[in-house]
Amino acid sequence: MTALSPLRQPAKRYLLWCANEHIEFRIPEINAISSMFNIPLMWIDKPKEDPYLIVEMRNEGDARRLMSRCMLVRSCFELWGQGNTEEELHSSIKLFPLDMMKPHLAPEKTFRVRVESFNKTLKNAEKLKKIESLSYLPFEGKVDLKHASTCLHLLEYYGLHPNETHRGPYKLFLGRWVVDGQRELISKFSLKSRTYIGSTSMDAQLSFIMANFAQVQPGSTIVDPFVGTGSVLVAAAQFGGHAWGWDIDYLTLHARTKPTRHSQKERTAGESILSNFEQYGLKHKYLDVVVMDNARPFWRDVPYVDAIITDPPYGIREAMERVGTVKGPKTAEDTIKQQSSSHHFPSKMNYNLSDVYCDLINFAARHLVVGGRLVFWLPVFREDYDENHIPSHPCLRIVFNCEQVLTVHASRRLITLVKTRHPQEGEVGKCQVTDLNAKFRDKFFQAASLTKEERASLKSMFPRDKRGQGLAYRLGESKNKTKVLKMEAASECSSGQHNMLLDICSKLPHLANLSLVKFTFGGRVAMDHRVYTRQFEFKLGGRTVNAAPRHFVCATLCSASVGTNSGDLSPTWPLPGKKVVPVGVRTMVVAARTKVGKGKEWKSGSYSPYITSY
């Protein structure tokens, strides 16, 4: 990945220690912040899904500015050394220039050394031993464990899978702590303690990520056309933006809806969108909210908005409505009745999802300043997703497209568009979401009737799971090249595929280079065997149970008819002599040892096969 701009002076190398969540949002957030602050940033290694990043920046000031907005980076360290083993780490530290190290270890500087590990808990004796191994560093000051002016951190990365920590750390780092990210804002602005929330209030962390994607800066004008309870605007106001918005739901804007908290029976008198801003001392950033239909905006067509940040309704928890009627034209009698009425409540009709996004991007094209950003969530049915169907406009260019998994079949994508020029006469937005997403609500509820077999098959089709973790989360780390097997559902099983599976089963315990083998089955058994290097991964739905190869008797494919034994175990298996329970044609037999009652028994079950291409 190339630098955002050339580095004009010798750069320093920094380690970004990241939070292990919302992985797909991590790099876009850093790019958005560095671009906003004009920070030349160069990636030393190609960004992966590991919880660390190594970058080069000009100085510590750039690092502090970058971290002043980061939500997905825990801390930033000036990198003094790194290695795959302790020997490599110490050799790397000894090569670090002394003239860059001594100012921080001078006699007038107090210091402390901390040991942190990712995915493993270390005992105090182990930590002390690791700290003492750094005795060759030129420490001249005094130790201060609470308020040290120089904090050195020894960081150890044990991979992403908890069952692989016995192999030792995959990567070790020594760095001088520079600054922490803004993770404390997540708890400060948590919805749990917020005065006014609703059923669709945006999570605090995601709200801040959206504000970073939109590059909100002090003095910016921020708009939310589907404001709801204003949770997105609160995050934008925290970063200095002047926030206002509108919504068609009168009851939500005036806090008259049913409370969403479990213990709350009715709304209190002080609940409102304004009260949320007052709670965090942001009242001076609150402009106003208006009851308005976004399909019929009444604002002047002039560019005055710096960023539009919104989460349109999907029709799941909140209705998609607009002002209108499906009735015929009004008669003269209807007009007289309406004029004589003291209060008029306009009728509403369904607001098609494709129309929602067409109106949104057309509004953005007219009202955003050049360089302004539109950030919005797009719900998708994962099987139907096509990036060519993302709402577009000739004046808007897509910048980021990040997925947040909601269920095994549905997700939403955070789309970021930037305005490149003003629209010409006749230019309108394009939304090809009629077939893809317009019936998202219907497809969402239809998916609830999927069988466990169908859900299991869907899991293998996508690179991310519900936690938002990527493929690396499910891979056992290996120094050798990782080999991933692609899973495909099979309606029939040929003899070649049958032999292929038997070949994998017989060789797997002896393959050191194979990091992941996954057999995905349907079934009614509530267990999910996730096993990695030299192990199997059985995904049967339900809770996760890690199991080593010794827990399995056999996994083979029966080619005989019902009542015929499929054969003895291969002698390579840890538990020879066990036989497979006879089942029907083209069914996978798995005999696994699980906890049943007070003891452990061997259980067998038959599942629909999903052939793994090899």
Q: What pLDDT does 505 receive? A: 44
> What's the CA gap between 117 and 4, in Å, rounded?
31
Q: In what order do the strands lie in the sheet with 588-596?
A: 552-557, 588-596, 599-607
Answer whether residue 294 is part of any domain. yes
Residues 6+ apart with CB under 8 A from 148: 110, 111, 112
- pLDDT band per the 50, 70, 90 thresholds, residue 144: very high
pLDDT reading at 546 higher than 70: no
* Strand extents, DSSP E, 225-325: 242-247, 286-291, 305-310, 321-323
Answer whether residue 405 is part of any domain. yes
Higher pLDDT, 532 or 414: 414
* Residue tagged 């929330």 (tokens): 197
Answer whether residue 585 is part of any domain. yes
Q: What pLDDT does 111 receive? A: 96
Shared-domain flag, residues 430 and 497: no
Shared-domain flag, residues 508 and 431: no
Higher pLDDT, 145 or 607: 145
Q: Are strands 221-224 and 321-323 parallel, antiparallel or unpaired?
A: unpaired
- Can you give the pTM of this predicted structure? 0.72
Shared-domain flag, residues 428 and 479: no
Q: Which of 242-256, 264-278, 361-375, 378-392 has the lowest mean pLDDT?
A: 378-392
> What's the CA gap between 525 and 546, in Å, rounded?
15
Length of the chain: 614
Higher pLDDT, 339 or 534: 339
Quote the domain boundaries for residue 178: 12-182
Q: What is the pLDDT of residues 195-239, one digit of tens each?
A: 999 988 999 999 999 999 999 999 999 999 999 999 999 999 999
Q: What is the pLDDT of residues 165-183, one digit of tens each?
A: 667 899 999 999 999 999 9
Q: Pick from 155, 182, 209: which residue ends a domain?
A: 182
Q: In what order do the strands lie in the sheet with 242-247?
A: 286-291, 242-247, 221-224, 305-310, 368-381, 410-419, 396-405
Q: What is the pLDDT of residues 25-62, one digit of tens each?
A: 999 999 999 999 999 999 998 888 899 999 999 999 99
> What's the CA gap between 83 and 155, in Å, rounded?
11
Shared-domain flag, residues 205 and 173: no
- pLDDT band per the 50, 70, 90 thresholds, residue 387: confident
Q: What is the pLDDT of residues 429-480, one digit of tens each?
A: 666 554 444 566 666 666 666 666 666 666 655 655 544 554 433 333 333 3
Shared-domain flag, residues 422 and 475: no
Q: The domain that contains 132 carries what CATH number?
A: 3.30.2130.30
Short-list 170, 64, 65, CA closest to 117: 170
Shared-domain flag, residues 163 and 268: no
Q: Report the percent of the chain where pLDDT is more than 70.
A: 62
Shared-domain flag, residues 69 and 166: yes
pLDDT reading at 87 higher than 90: yes
Phi-psi region of 541 (alpha: psi -120 to 50; beta: other; left: phi over 0): left
Higher pLDDT, 576 or 467: 467
Q: What pLDDT does 313 receive? A: 87
Answer whether residue 447 is part of any domain. no
Answer whether residue 445 is part of any domain. no
Residues 6+ apart with CB under 8 A from 572: 506, 507, 509, 510
For 311, list phi and psi in degrees, rounded to 5: -130, 90
pLDDT reading at 68 higher than 70: yes
pLDDT reading at 151 higher than 60: yes
The Cα angle at residue 532 between residues 596 and 594, in degrees rounded to 5: 5
The whole-chain average pLDDT of the chain stands at 74
Short-list 551, 511, 502, 505, CA closest to 533: 511
Q: The domain that contains 423 carries what CATH number?
A: 3.40.50.150
Interval 499-506 mean pLDDT: 45
Q: Are strands 537-539 and 518-520 parallel, antiparallel or unpaired?
A: parallel
